[in-house]
């Protein structure tokens, strides 16, 4: 039996000591042990981790098999090449890259070369949509991949070297708040951040009464930037004044919604902005312990955050606040706030029944506020300049500044900071204009309904805020915009979309678990040219019977977009049905 080394056991105990409950260390401990064992886990190792942490073997095994980053069902080779093939990646040439690697190495998805050197997998969106195609090798992202770069990468890996292949990102700002430090050299260091005015607002906030900060955030009308758009100040107000339990603040850095790659711009390039926002928010909420739950694939960004937190602590900025960076392990549903809390408690990331809402009973049964990275990074501006300055941008349809990620068929895919309500056409112009002939556009991440070019011509044109998106029959969501050109077919896009949700369904609700699987098989049949009359109606029936009948919004997040694709592009689907 393979035994864990003593030093790993000591490290696991150190991780446990950071959390109010040691069970929270389960995911980080499994990640650590997997890394120390050639990127693979075995049942024995999982049992040993369970014994150190003090949870049952079955619970630890359930966790290890739930998250896609744990390699337990199948061993992987020394280099695990993971090609992201989600929608934006597909739109930007991922299939060509996947097929090339597959032919070059002579292996298919899930297979390992006979020498044990390479395993090839396709994976879901890696939050790098502006720089797709992406190949993740073990912990490292290789972005904007070309055939030449793949050759270079594989040659180098054969020589035992993980090469450095830097990429340039497209970005621009019209507001100069969230991306203020994006182009500044060494902006991740506290000295540079402070030189540019950083942490002054925290000093101001610490002298303010918590209720005054909450009132300012309420009057700014800031709405959460994680996708649902719930008013932040209102959410903060749900923490009971009579509460005797600890209050926890969690920053949601899961960035899992396909088409979304905005939060990493703050996390990796201006971590102190987030830390300052969190420290101000924690003061307003009376929280002494905060967490950054960050997707597991961003482990190098987690290192940047940990270093920045250490710097802030040493500099005396955090006073009695502690911030723990907690890595997820590959599960889209863990972006949903209650699934995230379960995951942080060292469990499978299964969404909880609501109510109770997290503000009443969240992490460890205590009042908890979950906010997105961008939301928390917007707080210093509001506290420094006042709500009025924030509302000078945007309108009643949505106030303030916002990060938009633009990917797919545009000339300069990237992240753009703009006022809320910017006309979509202006945003597309910032992203270098459309490449080719657009047939559809998704404006708020994969879970919002697609729009057609004809629909965009209606009225004064779509504006990127909550109200205008609703008027056009879609949602602002996370602000992830994907432009689809006529190089692609909508039935193919619909199939790949539902394959993603089917893969990510946590399985708790029968309509979501079985419905997504049924839609995959029916759309596959249609795309393969084997569709029969009545198949499309069946898909639509499933969509109608999933929507509103699930525990978390995921069911609706695919039922509505799939239904929209079928109804708006009906002839494209019908063309494929020959029987
Ligand atoms: C399936 C699913 C995935 C989600 N993924 C994310 C995510 O990756 N990041 C995020 O901030 N919010 C995500 N959310 C929204 C969160 O549940 C929650 O509303 C958000 O973190 C609250 O922060 P905000 O109020 O600042 O937006 C997701 C929701 C669902 C249903
Ligand atoms: S809707 Fe899907 S993802 Fe959400 S809880 Fe139900 S089964 Fe899980
Ligand atoms: S689809 Fe490639 S990172 Fe999002």
Q: With 0-12 CB in 10 A as exposed, 13-18 as middle and 19+ as buried, what is 510?
A: exposed
134 lines ligand 3 (CB under 6 A): yes
Confidence (pLDDT) at 74: 85
Helices (H), 431-509: 453-456, 466-471, 490-504
Residue 538 has pLDDT above 90, yes or no: yes
The pLDDT, as a whole number, for residue 391 is 98
Nearest-5° Cα angle at 198, 196 to 202: 160
Cβ neighbour number for residue 37 with a 10 Å cutoff: 16
Q: Within 13 Å, how many C-alpha atoms sit on residue 358's CB side? A: 21
4/17: higher pLDDT: 17
**Considering only CA atoms, which residue is closest to atom 6 of ligand 2?**
509
The reply to whether ligand 1 has any atom less than 6 angstroms from the CB of 254 is yes
Q: Could you tell me which residues come within 8 angstroms of residue 15 by beta carbon, excluding any fewer than 6 positions away?
A: 25, 28, 29, 32
Nearest CA to ligand 1 atom 17: 336
**Best of 129, 226, 253 to mutate for ligand 1, by most ligand atoms within 8 A of CB?**
226
- pLDDT tens readout for residues 287-318: 999 999 999 999 999 999 999 999 999 999 99
What DSSP assignment string belongs to 240-264?
-TT--S-EEEEEEE---STT---HH
Q: Is the CB of 135 under 6 A from ligand 3?
A: no
**Is 338's C-beta closer than 6 angstroms to any atom of ligand 1?**
no
Residue 2 scores a pLDDT above 70: no
Q: Are 430 and 419 in contact (CB under 8 A)?
A: no
pLDDT > 80? residue 487: yes
What's the 450 CA to ligand 2 centre distance in angstroms?
A: 22
In short, whether 513's Cβ falls inside 6 Å of ligand 2 is yes
**Cβ(553) to ligand 2 under 6 A?**
no
Share of the chain above pLDDT 90, in %: 97
In what helix (H) or strand (E) does residue 419 lie, and over which residues does it extend? strand 414-419
- Residue among 82, 84, 496, 497 whose CB has most ligand 3 atoms within 8 A, to mutate: 84
Instruction: Evaluate whether 275 touches 309 at the Cβ level (below 8 Å).
Output: yes
Average pLDDT, the chain: 97
**What distance in angstroms lies between residue 557's CA and the mean position of ligand 2's atoms?**
10
Strand ranges, E, within 268-411: 287-294, 322-327, 368-372, 394-395, 398-399, 401-408
Q: What is the pLDDT of residues 41-69, one digit of tens each?
A: 999 999 999 999 999 999 999 999 999 99
What is the pTM (predicted TM-score) of this model? 0.97
- Closest ligand 3 atom to residue 124 Cα is 1
Q: Is residue 508 within 6 Å of ligand 2 at its C-beta?
A: yes
Buried b (16+ CB within 10 A) or exposed e, 396-410: ebbbbbbbbbbbbbb
Ligand 3 midpoint to CA 568 (Å): 25
Contact status, residue 337 vs residue 370, Cβ threshold 8 Å: yes
SS3 78: coil
Q: Which atom of ligand 2 is nearest to the CA of 506?
A: 8
CA distance 247 to 362: 9
Measured CA to CA, the distance from residue 321 to residue 309 in angstroms comes to 11
Give distance in angstroms: CA of 413 to centre of ligand 3. 12
Q: What is the mean pLDDT of residues 164-186?
A: 95
Task: Tell me how far apart the alpha carbons of residues 22 and 24 are, in angstroms, rounded to a whole number.
Answer: 5
Q: Is the predicted pLDDT of residue 3 greater than 80, yes or no?
A: no
Residue 578 confidence (pLDDT): 79
pLDDT above 90 (res 263): yes
- Overall average pLDDT of the 456-464 stretch: 93
If you measure from the C-alpha of residue 576 to the centroid of ligand 2, how many angstroms do you get, rounded to a whole number?
30
What pLDDT digit, counting tens, does each position of 177-229 carry? Answer: 999 999 999 999 999 999 999 999 999 999 999 999 999 999 999 999 999 99
Write the pLDDT tens digit of every residue in 333-366: 999 999 999 999 999 999 999 999 999 999 999 9
Q: Is 499 in the pocket of ligand 2 (CB under 6 A)?
A: no
Residue 512 Cβ contacting ligand 2 at under 6 Å = yes
% pLDDT > 70, the chain: 100
Domains of the chain: 6-66 (1.10.10), 79-158 (3.40.30.10), 179-387 (3.40.50.11540), 394-485 (3.10.20.600), 490-575 (1.20.1440.230)
Q: Which ligand is nearest to the CA of 295?
A: 1
Task: Report the pLDDT value the prediction gives residue 1, as an integer from 0 to 100.
Answer: 66
Ligand 2 centroid to Cα of residue 512, in Å, is 6
């Amino acid at each position: 039996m393979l035994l864990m080394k003593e030093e790993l056991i000591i490290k696991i105990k150190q991780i446990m000591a950071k959390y109010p409950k040691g069970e929270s260390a389960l995911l980080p401990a499994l990640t650590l042990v997997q890394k120390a064992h050639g990127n693979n886990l075995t049942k024995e190792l999982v049992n040993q981790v369970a014994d150190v942490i003090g949870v049952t073997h079955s619970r630890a095994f359930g966790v290890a098999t739930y998250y896609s980053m744990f390699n337990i069902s199948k061993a992987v080779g020394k280099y695990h090449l993971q090609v992201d093939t989600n929608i934006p990646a597909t739109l930007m040439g991922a299939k060509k890259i996947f097929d090339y690697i597959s032919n070059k190495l002579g292996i298919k998805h899930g297979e390992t070369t006979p020498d044990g050197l390479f395993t090839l997998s396709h994976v879901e969106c890696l939050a790098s949509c502006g720089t797709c195609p992406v190949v993740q090798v073990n912990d490292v992202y290789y972005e904007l991949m070309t055939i030449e770069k793949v050759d270079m990468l594989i040659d180098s890996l054969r020589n035992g070297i993980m090469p450095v292949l830097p990429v340039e990102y497209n970005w621009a700002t019209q507001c100069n708040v969230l991306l203020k430090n994006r182009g500044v050299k060494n902006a991740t260091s506290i000295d540079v951040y402070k030189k540019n005015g950083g942490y002054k607002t925290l000093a101001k906030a610490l002298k303010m009464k918590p209720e005054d900060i909450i009132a300012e955030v309420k009057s700014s009308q800031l709405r959460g930037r994680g996708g649902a758009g719930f008013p932040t100040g209102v959410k903060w107000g749900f923490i009971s004044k009579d509460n005797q339990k600890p209050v926890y603040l969690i920053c949601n850095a899961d960035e899992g919604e396909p088409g979304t790659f905005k939060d990493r711009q703050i996390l990796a390039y201006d971590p102190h902005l987030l830390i300052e926002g969190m420290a101000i928010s924690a003061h307003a909420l009376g929280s002494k312990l905060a967490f950054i739950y960050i997707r597991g694939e961003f482990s190098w960004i987690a290192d940047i955050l940990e270093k920045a937190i250490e710097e802030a602590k040493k500099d005396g900025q955090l006073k009695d606040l502690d911030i723990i960076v907690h890595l997820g392990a590959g599960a889209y549903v863990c972006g949903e706030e209650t699934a995230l809390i379960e995951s942080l408690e060292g469990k499978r990331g299964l969404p909880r029944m609501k109510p109770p809402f997290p503000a009443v009973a969240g992490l460890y049964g205590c009042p908890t506020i979950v906010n997105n990275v961008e939301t928390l990074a917007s707080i210093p501006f509001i506290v420094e300049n006042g709500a009025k300055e924030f509302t000078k941008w945007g309108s009643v349809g949505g106030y303030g500044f916002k990060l938009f990620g633009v990917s797919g068929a545009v000339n300069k895919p990237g992240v753009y900071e703009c006022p809320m309500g910017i006309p979509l056409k202006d945003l597309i112009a910032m992203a270098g204009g459309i490449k080719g002939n657009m047939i559809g556009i998704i404006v708020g991440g994969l879970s919002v309904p697609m729009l057609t070019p004809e629909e965009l011509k209606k009225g004064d044109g779509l504006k990127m805020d909550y109200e205008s998106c609703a008027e056009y029959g879609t949602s602002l969501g996370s602000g992830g915009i994907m432009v689809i050109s006529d190089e692609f077919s909508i039935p193919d896009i619909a199939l790949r979309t539902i394959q993603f949700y089917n893969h990510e369904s946590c399985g708790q609700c029968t309509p979501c678990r079985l419905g997504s699987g049924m839609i995959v098989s029916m759309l596959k049949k249609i795309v393969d040219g084997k569709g029969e009359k009545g198949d499309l109606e069946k898909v639509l029936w499933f969509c109608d019977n999933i929507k509103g009948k699930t525990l978390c919004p995921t069911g609706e997040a695919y039922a509505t977009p799939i239904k929209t694709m079928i109804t708006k592009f009906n002839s494209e689907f019908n063309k494929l049905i020959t029987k």
